[in-house]
A and B are shown apart, each in its own frame.
Chain A
Amino acid sequence: MSAFNAIGEEREIDRDEFTPEIEPQATWCPGCGDFGVLKALKQAMPEVGRNPEETLLVTGIGCSGKLSSYFRSYGFHSIHGRSLPVARAAKMANPDLEVIAAGGDGDGYGIGGNHFMHTARENHDMTYIVFDNEIFGLTKGQTSPTSPKGHKSKTQPHGSAKQPIRPLSLALTSGASYVARTAAVNPNQAKEILAEAMEHDGFAHVDFLTQCPTWNKDAKQYVPYIDVQDSDDYDFDITDRGEASEMMQEAENALYEGTVLTGRFYHDEDRPSYQQEKQATGDMPEEPLAERYFDDDYEWERSYDLLERHK
Chain B
Amino acid sequence: MTDDELIWRIAGGSGDGIDSTSQNFAKALMRSGLNVFTHRHYPSRIRGGHTYVEIRAKDEPVKSRGDNYNFLLALGDSFARNPQEEAYYGNEEIKPLSENLDELREGGVIVYDSGLLDASEIENFDQRAEENDWHVYDLDLRGLAKEHGREVMRNTAGVGATAALLDMDLEHIEGLMEDAMSGDVLEANLQILEEAYESVNEDYEHTHDLRAPTGSADEEQVLVSGSHGIAYGALDEGCRFISGYPMTPWTDVYTIMTQHLPEMGGISEQVEDEIAAASLAIGASHAGAKAMSGSSGGGFALMSEPLGLAEITETPIVLVEAMRAGPSTGMPTKPEQGDLEHVLYTSQGDSNRVVFAPGDPAECYEQTRKAFEIAYEYQIPAIVLYDQKLSGGHQTVPEDVFDEEPNPDIGSVVTEQDLEEAVQEAGRFKRYMYDDEESGFGGVSRRSLPGQKGGNYLASGNEHNEVGHISEDPDNRTIQMNRRMAKLDAIRTELSEEADHQPVYGPEDADYGILSFGSTKGVIEEAVDQLNDEGHSVKAMNVSDIMPFPKDEVTAFLESVDESLVVEMNASAQFRRHIQGQLGRFGEKLYSLLKYDGNPFEPEEIVSGFESRLGEEADLSQYNVRIESATGD
- Which residues of A come within 8 Å of B, CB atoms? 2-7, 9, 20-24, 52-54, 56, 58, 61, 66, 68-69, 72-79, 82, 85-94, 96-97, 114-115, 117-118, 278, 282-285, 289-294, 298, 300-304, 306-307, 310-311
Top 5 A-B pairs, shortest CB-CB distance: A89-B283, A290-B288, A303-B232, A85-B279, A4-B451
- Tell me if B408 counts as interface (CB < 8 A to partner A): yes
B283 touching A79, Cβ below 8 Å:
no
Which residues of chain B are near A304, meaning CB under 8 Å?
Answer: 399, 402-404
How many angstroms from the CA of A39 to the CA of B24 in the assembled complex?
A: 65
A53 touching B403, Cβ below 8 Å:
no
Which residues of chain B are near A92, meaning CB under 8 Å?
Answer: 241, 267, 269, 284
Which residues of chain B are near A56, meaning CB under 8 Å?
Answer: 287, 450
A97 touching B450, Cβ below 8 Å:
yes
A24 touching B470, Cβ below 8 Å:
yes
Residue interface bits B438-475, CB-to-A below 8 A is 1, else 0: 00000000000111111111111110000011100000
Which residues of chain A are near B403, meaning CB under 8 Å?
Answer: 304
How many angstroms from the CA of A76 to the CA of B283 in the assembled complex?
A: 9
A302 touching B236, Cβ below 8 Å:
yes
| Stretch in contact with the other chain, from B108-116, B221-229, B547-555, B592-600 | B221-229
- Tell me if B428 counts as interface (CB < 8 A to partner A): yes
Chain A's nearest CB lies how many Å from the CB of B57? Answer: 16
A-B contact pairs, 9 of them (CB 8 A): A77-B461, A78-B279, A88-B280, A93-B289, A291-B288, A301-B235, A301-B406, A302-B404, A307-B222
Chain A's nearest CB lies how many Å from the CB of B408? Answer: 5
Given that A53-B451, A72-B427 are contacting pairs, would A86 and B462 also be in contact in the complex, using a CB cutoff of 8 Å? no
Chain B's nearest CB lies how many Å from the CB of A299? Answer: 9
B451 touching A6, Cβ below 8 Å:
yes
Q: B residues 268-296 with Cβ under 8 Å of A?
A: 268-269, 271-273, 275-277, 279-291
Q: Which residue of chain A has the shortest Cβ distance to B459 in the bound complex?
A: A76
How many angstroms from the CA of A115 to the CA of B283 in the assembled complex?
A: 14
- Tell me if B260 counts as interface (CB < 8 A to partner A): yes
Q: Count of B residues near A, CB < 8 Å?
A: 80
B459 touching A75, Cβ below 8 Å:
yes
Chain A's nearest CB lies how many Å from the CB of B254? Answer: 15
A118 touching B272, Cβ below 8 Å:
yes
Which residues of chain B are near A310, meaning CB under 8 Å?
Answer: 222-224, 228
A79 touching B309, Cβ below 8 Å:
yes
B426 touching A90, Cβ below 8 Å:
no
A303 touching B280, Cβ below 8 Å:
no
Which residues of chain B are near A54, meaning CB under 8 Å?
Answer: 450-451
How many angstroms from the CA of A304 to the CA of B468 in the assembled complex?
A: 41
B232 touching A306, Cβ below 8 Å:
yes
A3 touching B452, Cβ below 8 Å:
yes
How many angstroms from the CA of A103 to the CA of B461 in the assembled complex?
A: 14
B456 touching A52, Cβ below 8 Å:
yes
Q: Which residue of chain B has the shortest Cβ distance to A2 in the bound complex?
A: B416
Q: B residues 395-410 with Cβ under 8 Å of A?
A: 399, 402-406, 408-410
Which residues of chain A are near B232, meaning CB under 8 Å?
Answer: 303, 306
A69 touching B458, Cβ below 8 Å:
yes
Which residues of chain A are near B207, meaning CB under 8 Å?
Answer: none
Residue of B450, B457, B460, B462 ringed by the most chain A CB atoms within 10 A: B450
Given known contacts A9-B453, A302-B406, what 20 new A-B pairs fall within 8 Å (CB)?
A: A53-B452, A72-B428, A75-B457, A76-B460, A77-B459, A77-B461, A78-B309, A79-B461, A82-B306, A89-B243, A97-B450, A115-B276, A118-B272, A278-B267, A285-B266, A289-B267, A289-B288, A293-B290, A298-B408, A302-B402
Which residues of chain B are near A9, meaning CB under 8 Å?
Answer: 453
Which residues of chain A are near B277, meaning CB under 8 Å?
Answer: 85
Which residues of chain B are near A284, meaning CB under 8 Å?
Answer: 262, 267
Interchain CB contact (< 8 A) of B287 among A85, A97, A298? A97
Q: Which residue of chain B has the shortest Cβ distance to A311 in the bound complex?
A: B222
Residue interface bits B499-542, CB-to-A below 8 A is 1, else 0: 00000000000000000000000000000000000000000000
Which residues of chain A are near B462, meaning CB under 8 Å?
Answer: 61, 77
- Tell me if B556 counts as interface (CB < 8 A to partner A): no
Q: Which residue of chain B has the shortest Cβ distance to A296 in the bound complex?
A: B408
A93 touching B284, Cβ below 8 Å:
yes
Given that A53-B454, A56-B450 are contacting pairs, would A89 and B470 also be in contact in the complex, using a CB cutoff of 8 Å? no
A24 touching B469, Cβ below 8 Å:
yes
B461 touching A72, Cβ below 8 Å:
no
Which residues of chain A are near B280, meaning CB under 8 Å?
Answer: 85-86, 88-89
Chain A's nearest CB lies how many Å from the CB of B220? Answer: 9
B283 touching A303, Cβ below 8 Å:
no
B461 touching A4, Cβ below 8 Å:
no
How many angstroms from the CA of A6 to the CA of B288 in the assembled complex?
A: 15
How many angstroms from the CA of A291 to the CA of B454 in the assembled complex?
A: 17
Chain B's nearest CB lies how many Å from the CB of A282? Answer: 5
Interchain CB contact (< 8 A) of A77 among B267, B449, B458? B458
Interchain CB contact (< 8 A) of B453 among A5, A78, A97? A5
Chain A's nearest CB lies how many Å from the CB of B569? Answer: 27
Residue of B283, B402, B454 ringed by the most chain A CB atoms within 10 A: B283
- Tell me if B313 counts as interface (CB < 8 A to partner A): yes
Which residues of chain A are near B425, meaning CB under 8 Å?
Answer: 22
How many angstroms from the CA of A96 to the CA of B287 in the assembled complex?
A: 11
A89 touching B427, Cβ below 8 Å:
no
How many angstroms from the CA of A23 to the CA of B266 in the assembled complex?
A: 39
How many angstroms from the CA of A242 to the CA of B402 in the assembled complex?
A: 56
Q: Which residue of chain A has the shortest Cβ distance to B278 in the bound complex?
A: A85
How many angstroms from the CA of A289 to the CA of B450 in the assembled complex?
A: 13
How many angstroms from the CA of A3 to the CA of B452 in the assembled complex?
A: 6
Interchain CB contact (< 8 A) of B456 among A72, A79, A289? A72
How many angstroms from the CA of A97 to the CA of B305 in the assembled complex?
A: 26
Which residues of chain A are near B228, meaning CB under 8 Å?
Answer: 310
- Tell me if B238 counts as interface (CB < 8 A to partner A): yes
Q: Which residue of chain A has the shortest Cβ distance to B280 in the bound complex?
A: A89
B288 touching A89, Cβ below 8 Å:
no
- Tell me if B264 counts as interface (CB < 8 A to partner A): yes
Which residues of chain B are near A3, meaning CB under 8 Å?
Answer: 288, 415-416, 449, 451-452
B470 touching A90, Cβ below 8 Å:
no
B265 touching A292, Cβ below 8 Å:
yes
- Tell me if B334 counts as interface (CB < 8 A to partner A): no
Q: Which residue of chain B has the shortest Cβ distance to A289 in the bound complex?
A: B289
Chain B's nearest CB lies how many Å from the CB of A75? Answer: 4
- Tell me if B240 counts as interface (CB < 8 A to partner A): yes
Which residues of chain B are near A90, meaning CB under 8 Å?
Answer: 283-284, 286-287, 450
Q: Which residue of chain B has the shortest Cβ distance to A285 in the bound complex?
A: B265
Which residues of chain B are near A291, meaning CB under 8 Å?
Answer: 288
Which residues of chain A are near B238, meaning CB under 8 Å?
Answer: 293, 300
Q: Which residue of chain A has the shortest Cβ distance to B260 in the bound complex?
A: A306
How many angstroms from the CA of A56 to the CA of B448 in the assembled complex?
A: 13
How many angstroms from the CA of A2 to the CA of B306 in the assembled complex?
A: 31
Which residues of chain A are near B455, meaning CB under 8 Å?
Answer: 53, 74
How many angstroms from the CA of A82 to the CA of B459 in the assembled complex?
A: 14
B265 touching A73, Cβ below 8 Å:
no
How many angstroms from the CA of A304 to the CA of B231 in the assembled complex?
A: 12
How many angstroms from the CA of A285 to the CA of B313 in the assembled complex?
A: 27
B402 touching A303, Cβ below 8 Å:
yes
Which residues of chain A are near B262, meaning CB under 8 Å?
Answer: 282-284
A89 touching B305, Cβ below 8 Å:
no
Which residues of chain B are near A290, meaning CB under 8 Å?
Answer: 287-289, 449, 451
B452 touching A6, Cβ below 8 Å:
yes
B460 touching A77, Cβ below 8 Å:
yes
Which residues of chain B are near A306, meaning CB under 8 Å?
Answer: 232, 235, 260
Residue interface bits B221-263, CB-to-A below 8 A is 1, else 0: 1111000100111011010110100000000000000001010
How many angstroms from the CA of A289 to the CA of B468 in the assembled complex?
A: 25
Which residues of chain B are near A73, meaning CB under 8 Å?
Answer: 456
Interchain CB contact (< 8 A) of B276 among A6, A93, A118? A118
Which residues of chain B are near A91, meaning CB under 8 Å?
Answer: 283, 287
Given that A75-B458, A93-B287, A292-B240 are contacting pairs, would A82 and B269 also be in contact in the complex, using a CB cutoff of 8 Å? no
B288 touching A94, Cβ below 8 Å:
yes
Given that A97-B450, A302-B406, A310-B224 are contacting pairs, would A85 and B457 also be in contact in the complex, using a CB cutoff of 8 Å? no
Which residues of chain B are near A114, meaning CB under 8 Å?
Answer: 272-273, 276
